[in-house]
Amino acid sequence: MQRALSIDPGKCTGCLQCELACSFEHTGLFNPSRSVIRVFTFHEEGRFVPYTCTQCAEAWCLQSCPVDAISINADTGAKEVNEATCVGCKVCTIACPFGTINYSQATGKVVKCDLCGGDPQCVEACPTDAIVYVDADQTGLERMRQWAARTDAAATA
């Protein structure tokens, strides 16, 4: 059964533990600027929204990669960047309409959420269950994918 990140902004307190955990898992550093999950702060509404890749079905990043550096992890369904193959051309960073794959100055490659191989550390770190890792069917993933499809310059086959 495939699982996905389910994010409930209503439960987010803006503590940023997820960003710390994410950056530590991926870089060994507690450096939120290296995190691939980002908590947006809407001061006007007093709201926090954790935001990261949804592993969308369209896989804009994967599709646009000119060197086959992004592939789907058969176990988790995550679209993963193969660092050894990525040349750092950044085409995926403009192709992804969600802005959730980004260039890392530090590595010269692009980085995105890889679901930590099936044990997402943002989920582990979240003290309020604003981010949980659940059966993909329960996440509203479908609704999200439908939204993505509306912006999709792609097949409505």
Partner 1 sequence: MHHLVVGAGPAGVTACETLRQLDPSAHITLLCGESGEPYGRMAIPYYLVGNIDEAGTRLRKRPGYWESLRISLRHDRVAALAPDDDRVTLESGETLDFDRLLIATGAHPVSPAISGIDLPGVVHCWTLEDARAIAERAAEGSDVVLMGAGFIGCIILESLVKRGVKLTVIEQGPRMVPRMLDAVAGGMLQAHCESQGVRVLTRTRAEAITEAEGRLTVATSQGEIAADLVIVATGVRSNTGFLDCSGVECDQGVLVDEQLQSSRAGVFAAGDVAQGPDLLSGSRQVHAIQPTAVEHGRIAAHNMVGQGARYPGSLNMNILDTLGLVSVSFGNWEGGDAHHALVLDNRDAGRYLKLVFDEQDRLRGAIAVGHTEKVGVLRGLIQSRRPLHGWRERLQRDPTRLAEAFVAMPLAQAVKA
Residue bearing tokens 């409505």: 156
Pick the closest to residue 49 from 10, 89, 105 (CA basis).
10
For residue 119, give every residue at least 6 positions away whose Cβ sits within 8 Å of its Cβ, in sequence order, or none: none
Q: Which is nearer to partner 1, 68 or 119 (CB)?
A: 68
Which tokens go with 61? 């990043």
Site for partner 1 (CB under 8 A): which residue of 14, 93, 107, 124?
93
Site string for partner 1, 27-66 (x = CB under 8 A): -----------x-x-x-x----x-x--x-----x--xx-x
Q: How far is the CB of 17 from partner 1 (least distance, A)?
A: 19
87 contacts partner 1 (rule: CB under 8 A): yes
Half-sphere exposure of 1 (CA within 13 A, CB side): 8
Looking at residues 101 to 130 of the shown chain, list those that interact with partner 1 (rule: CB under 8 A): 101-103, 105
The C-alpha atoms of residue 137 and residue 150 are separated, in whole angstroms, by: 20
Q: Which is nearest to 84 in space by CA: 61, 107, 66, 106?
A: 107
Q: Does 73 bind partner 1 (CB under 8 A)?
A: no
The residues that touch partner 1, with contacts defined as CB under 8 A, are 6-10, 38, 40, 42, 44, 49, 51, 54, 60, 63-64, 66-68, 85, 87-91, 93-103, 105, 138-140, 143-144, 146-147, 150-151, 153-157
